[in-house]
Structure 1
Amino acid sequence: MKITKRTRRDVVALAALCTIALAMSGCARGGAAEAEEGEVTASPGITDTTITFGTTSPLSGSAAGVGNCAADGAIAYFESRNADGGITFGDGKTRNVEFKAYDDGYDPQRALANFQQMVSDGVFGTALSLGTPTNRAFRDAAIAAEVPQVLVQTGDPLFSDRAESPWQLGLLPIYQQEGEAFGELLAATPGEHRVAILYQNDDFGLGYVEGFKLGIEGAENIEVVKEIGYEATATEVNAQITDLASTDADVFFNAMSSLAPLVIGSLQQAHTLGWSPSLFLPSTSSSPALLEPSGVADSFAGIYSTASSLSAASPAFQDSEEGQRFLDALHTYTAQTDVPGFPQCVWSWIGASILEEAFTKMTEPTRENFMEALRSVSGFSAPFLLDGGLIDATHEDRPAMSDVVVMEFNGAGFGPADSIS
């Protein structure tokens, strides 16, 4: 069985029929029904031998690099597990996992259409979809249809609020956690610091800034000298970088998402202007795959980000048995041919392992039971987490991965940072 990626072809036309399909399929309210008193039938997307999940990510367009990684890690994980004979669930049945990827081009409307198509295709749930606006686009629809939308690859805290999002769960640390970790490290660094902030004018950028300000609260050695926003639809931010560089700040907090051309362009503009501050980048946009093409990594006093997991480029990763399994599966079952430069491949593999852990706890073939099983995962040592890191999905307002460490770029990858240069 080959796990495939699906493009947008036919999605728009079929989306118009989704409401009818939902009603006819009986899956609009979680999909499980009592056939007879005391007997529960399976939700859509699960049989005695298979379970089907879908994911929507930008498989094309400017975010295709991270988008494909966000799908490929899980595709490789489950394809390799299927080749080994499948996964034994908590009900004693062994199932293969079908993991289908749909292309949204980082367009929220396409993501919504993809979700509608997934439901029409009969998926059990969605998992590991990339992006804040794209995941938000179908959040309400997933809640209304009682379809799991879990381990989403965004730091949006909305997806980890159990009361507000009973059918959702985030995978990655929330934006505020990352921002706060950087702020705390800067506050603990001796000397006076002037900070210039560029932020994406949405929940992503504003969340990072909120967390950063919480981290420096009460620190008398730090001054935020200027904050400038930009729209996620922008094609360049040269004017904003020029304005921020004029402050001569020694710290540049670039709260920018992973759209490669924009990240690279912002770093190149700072270099052109001769501005050489210490640089903070969110984990989603700090990949060597973005830093190296910019050609200006050496221009900054230091480059910092946050992490909860190992980088695929690190010796510890590549020398491990699980790391070799990851690379072999990725090269065998996806179009990835080298060591992936984007962390989303690793995050996706980690997320797939969490799904497997939940499957082993499922005692009924229903979406409700799956969510109970997933929400019970605690103290789970998923592959590639940093030392001491554990998965805990039991929190009321936290994602599955909640441990955050500030890292410093060393020319090839990132290592732990004790202070800011």
Structure 2
Amino acid sequence: MRKKPGGVLGIVAVTAALALSLSGCRGDSGGQGGGGSASSPGITDSAITLGITTPLSGATAGPGKCTVAGVSAYFGAANAAGGVKFGDGKTRTVNIKSYDDAYDPQKSLANFQQMVSDNVFAATAGLGTPTNRAFRDAAISQKVPQVLVMTGDPLFSDRKQSPWQLGFVPIYQNEGGAFGKLLAKSGAQHKVAILSQNDDYGKGYVAGFKEAIQGASNISVVGEQTYEATDTSVDAQLTQLASSGADVFFNAMSITPLTIAALQKAQQIGWKPSWFLPSNTSSPTAILEPGGAAAYPGIYSVSFAKAPQSPAFAKDPDVVKFLDELKKYGNYPDMPAFPHCMWSYMVGATLEKAFQNMKEPTRDSFMTALRDIKDLKAPLMLEGTSVNTTVDGQPAVSSVVVQKYNGKGYATAENFG
């Protein structure tokens, strides 16, 4: 016998329908996506919003602006072509919101809190170890992805300690180790002086370098000094290190003005060793030329990106396309002075790959897809490098090529000297 609508079955049906309706809205500021799964904040059926907190003012504004320009260029072009097709079958435009932290950790944390208020899906590409660390705990607590950020801090690539994080650039130890291996392989006797930033950045570079030269009888460290990231001069440290007689200077420095001043000061006091500079402070036009780098027997750094300034890549299809899109969509009309423009463009390609593979419009699905990218040859990558996010403890890019400054750009350094 059929029950009347007001009976028990009718009540159950209405309750179930209400529950389904509420579950479709709960925690979803962006609508409902594929497969009936509730979307995470910051994503709808037609768009996704990403946030970047990075220095857009202050001493590190140059590379900071590049982190926004490169991602904006990549997705500006993708949006103009119709958008990005996601793994759930929806095609979405990718919107970028940028926030200035002036390389100040407190501002960075405030910016993250603003991102949450602005319903940003994920934070990405921002520059700096202290600034990214400032909101790491908050991002973990609120389960907001903080990924492909511009820091070599290994903590960001440790899945257990940082489940919602992933670094993009090689960890500091990888860069320092690459140079140490090249130096040890030379076979010649070398005395090394070290100046490093007194934080995890500097310590990571030095640790990687020392591990690589361990057991190399031809390499000796004859002097070590540190400086604070807030210092305005390292003249005293350079004078002390010059007296060591070192013919190689390992300068683990992240501050652009200090790097230029150090190059100039060493010349003034008559100390002209070969230099190693980190990838983020080795720009030919922004640092080496004003610093008078041509006065030294060799300036070495590491890279994984094609440099548009280099004659070797002037007509490279990747570089031509990148420069065009950087101007059109990245609001960056000049030749990039910092590698961060290229790095963040690669971040765009890596994010797109993750978007294409995420099956649901959720942060969980995104992180799963992001951590399953292997051997991606992103645009602008040098031969021998690739994006691989599958190795715990390593960032998206862990392979680097040691290069030597040739007066205009960099060329691969097969040997030291």
TM-score (norm 2): 0.91
Query: Which residue is equivalent to 1:62?
Result: 59
Q: How does 1:1-400 map to 2 (within 5 A)?
A: 39-257=36-254, 259-400=255-396
Question: Residue deviations 1:72-98, cap 9 Å, x none?
Answer: 100111111111110111111100000
Q: Which one-letter code corresponds to 1:219 in the other structure?
A: A
Report how many residues are paired. Answer: 391
Distance in 1, matches of 2:169 and 2:388, equals 12
Distance in 2, matches of 1:291 and 1:372, equals 39
Contact 2:192 2:249 in 1 (8 A): yes
Q: Which one-letter code corresponds to 1:149 in the other structure?
A: Q
What SS does structure 1 have at the residue aligned with 2:49? strand
Contact 1:312 1:341 in 2 (8 A): no
Kindly report the root-mean-square deviation, in angstroms, between the aligned alpha carbons of the 2 structures: 1.8
Q: Which one-letter code corresponds to 1:210 in the other structure?
A: A
- Please state how far the C-alpha of 1:293 moved relative to its aligned partner: 4.4
- Please state how far the C-alpha of 1:292 moved relative to its aligned partner: 3.9
- Please state how far the C-alpha of 1:388 moved relative to its aligned partner: 2.8
What SS does structure 2 have at the residue aligned with 1:380? coil
- Please state how far the C-alpha of 1:295 moved relative to its aligned partner: 4.1
Change (3 A) 1:287 1:95: same
- Please state how far the C-alpha of 1:39 moved relative to its aligned partner: 4.2
- Please state how far the C-alpha of 1:298 moved relative to its aligned partner: 1.7
Once the two structures are overlaid, the 10-residue window that deviates more, 111-120 or 411-420, is 411-420
Change (3 A) 1:171 1:117: same
Unaligned runs of 5+ in 2: 1-24
- Please state how far the C-alpha of 1:294 moved relative to its aligned partner: 2.7
Contact 2:29 2:42 in 1 (8 A): no
Query: Which residue is equivalent to 1:14?
Result: none
- Please state how far the C-alpha of 1:308 moved relative to its aligned partner: 1.4
- Please state how far the C-alpha of 1:418 moved relative to its aligned partner: 2.0
Contact 2:311 2:409 in 1 (8 A): no
Larger Rg: 2
Once the two structures are overlaid, the 10-residue window that deviates more, 404-413 or 142-151, is 404-413
What SS does structure 2 have at the residue aligned with 1:111? helix
Contact 2:26 2:38 in 1 (8 A): no
Unaligned runs of 5+ in 1: 1-24
Question: Residue deviations 1:28-86, cap 9 Å, x none?
Answer: xxx69999xx9421000000000000001100111111100111100111111111110
Contact 1:57 1:106 in 2 (8 A): yes
Distance in 2, matches of 1:33 and 1:103, equals 25
- Please state how far the C-alpha of 1:222 moved relative to its aligned partner: 0.9
Contact 1:91 1:364 in 2 (8 A): yes
What SS does structure 2 have at the residue aligned with 1:218? coil
Contact 1:263 1:290 in 2 (8 A): no
